[in-house]
Structure 1
Amino acid sequence: MMIRNLFLFLSLFLCGESFVLAQAVDGDSQAKPLILAHYMPWFSASPRADDSGEMSWGWHWTMNHFDPDQVKGDRRQIASHFYPVIGPYDSADPAVLEYHLLLMKTAGIDGVIVDWYGLEAFNDYPMLHRNTQLLFEAVSKRGMKFAICYEDQTIPIMVRAGRLNESDQVSHAINEINQMQTMWFDHPCYVRVDGKPVLLSFGDSGLTNDGWKECLAGLKHSVAYFSEHTRRDGAMGAYDWPVPSMGFKASDRFETLAKSWEYAIPVAFPRFVDCYAEGNAGDGYQHIDDWGGETFKRTLVTASKFNAPMIQLATWNDWGEGTQIEPSREHGFRDLEMIQMFRRRYVDKKFAAKADDLQLPLELWKQRQDAAADDGRLTEVADLIADGEFARARKRLESRR
């Protein structure tokens, strides 16, 4: 009965290809929100250094339980209920970055918010930082936007590991954010609100509220800080995130809280179906079902109600939690097609990319895998796709088959 009532409710808002959104942002009278995808740069899949021909797989494909070298049919065993269209990949692979960003541009996504773990030489943080740098370089090349979501939970983790004194937690965060200023905040592609660089922090298991107040006061330059779910003291606002135990009620709660803030960043997500329990990586969370795409539609409906500087899509590629909108074997390009429709209806009426155009980055990626060497023509195709010259790009790709 509950599901049936939900579909009845959704039918009041969703009709055919178009999104019929109550209280949607009026594109003629209000600023257009940026559409940004939360991006995980943490996937590792590279040849072993011993020249054995075998692959080295990172934790986010294995959870120290699954073995991607085990292949059944044409599918490797990975730590996800879903499977990438291009298979498990390495986040530092230039062809993967190209594929992801061209898909985003063709879907109508403006840029990325990257999950960043800091600069400390601890755990896999150096690899994550390297991959973030590579991603930002690729984003900048395409004229897209980027911002940081700081995983400040790393700070107490380092304290427990004896890598950081408890009394140095705030000074460590200040130094990390000042380093972000040096590396990224002044970049023309970095996202800004009221002229200040946007900085998100994930969760509430890192610095305390008082710690963040002290941190923000100690920075060399001010930032547009957004905390998760609720606005901390000193924050410009807050951003929303899926709460598996609450489902859609979490979005309703955030909408109510946000009425008293100057800025809020709503979230749209397609599902939450993690595999932590199966991977012996914890008890796992309550699932939020995909419901045939209705979850993503409903959360886009909710996000459209905000006069927000940006909408965050959670996520581009968190395969372990099953929130990815990156194309999968199970859902194909469906979620990206929804974003195309959303953008055309409420952000940019002249947005020209269509569903069939989403196949072009995939075909380009396939041809890069087959090509012994790129003579420059595939790079020209990538530029055509990025510029929205889809007919010319398609013709070039077809001529190379």
Structure 2
Amino acid sequence: MKIVQAAITMAFVICWIFGFAAIAQSPDDSRPPRPLMLAHYMPWFVAKPVNQAWGFHWTMNQFNPDEFEPNAVGKGTQSVRQRSIASEYYPSIGPYDSSDVDVIEYHLLLMKVAGIDGVIVDWYGIQPCYDYPILHRNTTTLIDQANKMGMKFAICYEDQTLGPLIEQGLVKESERVEHVASEIAWLNKNWFSLDNYVRLGGKPAMLSFGNAGLSNEQWTECIGRLTFPIAYFSEHHRRDGATGAFDWPIPGPGMDAVDRFYRDSPEWEAAIPVVFPRFVDFYGEAKVRESYPDIEDADGETFRVTLARALASKAAFAQIATWNDWGEGTVIEPSVEFGDRDLKHLQTQLLGQQADPTALALPGKLLEFRKSNGATKDELDRVADWIGTGEYAKAKSWLRQR
């Protein structure tokens, strides 16, 4: 079921009236407390020339990015000849590899400029199954870069990993709970203790996506086995052993599901509301499965409404779904179709008078220099530091002189 434009507009008006009057009345535009804003990040893209072949998340085994679409998209000098990828939309920088440190720098700097506080990383564990090792390696690189830039991070554990692990004999059916508990123990040993890991009441926050791996009772048993405390969040609904739940865009119910989450969540200890721009997947066209119903972009209204509701909530943190899930079209990363529209709106709402929409162009220009070897590494590292610390005038001046 597609979102009705009138319903979105009405929701936005209500949220604005009741949730943002306080912001409008704040003296000197001082911002009231808001949720920590975290972008859900997919580390699963494999691309040439960083790797020898294109990965599934660009191809879905149907498309060949070595081939180009017949017509360029865009206007004038911004015209882009697109590779053939499994997505309704196209990254402004083209399809990329998630292990590329320059691309990670570009993503994180864009987030910082837009006012995003950190990332929630989609994590499949440490077992040698499918592309899980690649995802783990890329996640490690992303976390290292986030730490250098002073950005927060948290882990979203993929519940669905258990099925393939059992099918391939890496985990026994009877060891479901034990396996997940051991992976969380690995997280506790290696990442939960890092200074930039997201915490709630001193406890590391961990999300679990889906419910195909462990049942409600098994998750309760799993959390009970841990010898250390965590703030565990299940998807959509709070499981019995969870601190609370996080929301996610649901094709079909759309905004009705968001309403339900806000109705249910006051009963929980904590909740993580969702901010999203749309849901337009490519599964049907790629013949992976039948596509889900769309949640329409509605000229940016979907993003504006869900952001307004999240900021007006009393949540400790909110999740943007997503930064870069190109297969489901939920991206706020700059694209050929939408540019940096959503980042500009986000920047305005999060930073107020400190917002500088022109600075959103700087990470992309820095990436161009990185790829063209247009300056020394030391010079470019210095420009990255200026962007990351908000010294935009210095970065702009250096880029103009090159």
TM-score computed with the length of structure 2 as normaliser? 0.91
Give CA deviations for 1:11-58 in whole Å, capped at 9, x if unaligned. 6358xxxxx352359678974310000000000013387xxxxx5100
Q: Distance in 2 between matches of 1:65 and 1:220?
A: 45
Q: 1:378 to 1:78 in 2, by over 3 A?
A: same
Letter matched to residue 18 of structure 2: A
Which residue in 1 is equivalent to 2:45? 43
1:264 counterpart SS class? strand
Find out whether 1:270 has 2:277 as its counterpart. yes
Q: CA deviation at 1:222?
A: 1.2
Q: CA deviation at 1:155?
A: 1.0
Contact 1:25 1:307 in 2 (8 A): no
Contact 2:157 2:208 in 1 (8 A): yes
Q: Distance in 1 between matches of 2:223 and 2:371?
A: 46
Q: Distance in 2 between matches of 1:11 and 1:111?
A: 25
Contact 2:35 2:311 in 1 (8 A): no
1:20-169 correspondence runs (5 A) = 20=16, 22-24=18-20, 31-47=33-49, 55-72=52-69, 73=72, 74-169=81-176
Q: 1:143 to 1:387 in 2, by over 3 A?
A: same
Q: Distance in 2 between matches of 1:45 and 1:212?
A: 36
Find out whether 1:305 has 2:312 as its counterpart. yes
Find out whether 1:365 has 2:389 as its counterpart. no
Letter matched to residue 369 of structure 2: Q
Which residue in 1 is equivalent to 2:27? none
Q: Distance in 1 between matches of 2:238 and 2:173?
A: 25
Q: Distance in 2 between matches of 1:176 and 1:37?
A: 23
Letter matched to residue 57 of structure 1: W
Q: 1:36 to 1:48 in 2, by over 3 A?
A: closer
Which residue in 1 is equivalent to 2:357? 355
Q: CA deviation at 1:181?
A: 0.6
Alignment partner for residue 286 of structure 1, among 293, 302, 306? 293
Alignment partner for residue 340 of structure 1, among 341, 347, 354? 347
Alignment partner for residue 186 of structure 2, among 179, 184, 188? 179
Contact 2:156 2:207 in 1 (8 A): yes
Q: 1:25 to 1:99 in 2, by over 3 A?
A: farther
Which residue in 2 is equivalent to 1:398? 400
The answer to which of 141-150 and 203-212 deviates more is 203-212
Contact 2:12 2:305 in 1 (8 A): no
Q: Distance in 1 between matches of 2:121 and 2:12?
A: 34
Q: CA deviation at 1:204?
A: 1.2
Which residue in 2 is equivalent to 1:379? 381
Contact 2:129 2:164 in 1 (8 A): no
1:22 counterpart SS class? helix
Which residue in 1 is equivalent to 2:26? none
Unaligned runs of 5+ in 1: 15-19, 50-54
Q: CA deviation at 1:317?
A: 0.1
1:332 counterpart SS class? coil
The answer to which of 366-375 and 281-290 deviates more is 366-375
Letter matched to residue 111 of structure 1: G
Q: Distance in 1 between matches of 2:117 and 2:160?
A: 28
Which residue in 1 is equivalent to 2:229? 222
Contact 2:8 2:305 in 1 (8 A): no
Q: 1:4 to 1:237 in 2, by over 3 A?
A: closer
Q: CA deviation at 1:158?
A: 1.4
Contact 2:8 2:302 in 1 (8 A): no
Q: CA deviation at 1:154?
A: 0.5
Find out whether 1:204 has 2:204 as its counterpart. no
Letter matched to residue 37 of structure 2: I
Contact 1:25 1:304 in 2 (8 A): no
Q: Distance in 2 between matches of 1:184 and 1:372?
A: 35
2:154 counterpart SS class? strand
1:148 counterpart SS class? strand
1:297 counterpart SS class? helix
1:147 counterpart SS class? strand
Aligned length: 385
Segments of 4+ moved more than 2 angstroms: 2-8, 10-14, 20-32, 46-49, 160-163, 372-375
Give CA deviations for 1:323-379 in whole Å, capped at 9, x if unaligned. 0000000000001011111113xxxx56x2311110000111111111166341111
Contact 1:31 1:309 in 2 (8 A): no
Superposition CA RMSD, Å = 2.0
**Comparing both structures, which one devotes a greater share of its residues to helix?**
2
Q: Distance in 2 between matches of 1:115 and 1:244?
A: 20
Q: CA deviation at 1:298?
A: 1.2
Letter matched to residue 197 of structure 1: P
Q: 1:48 to 1:387 in 2, by over 3 A?
A: closer
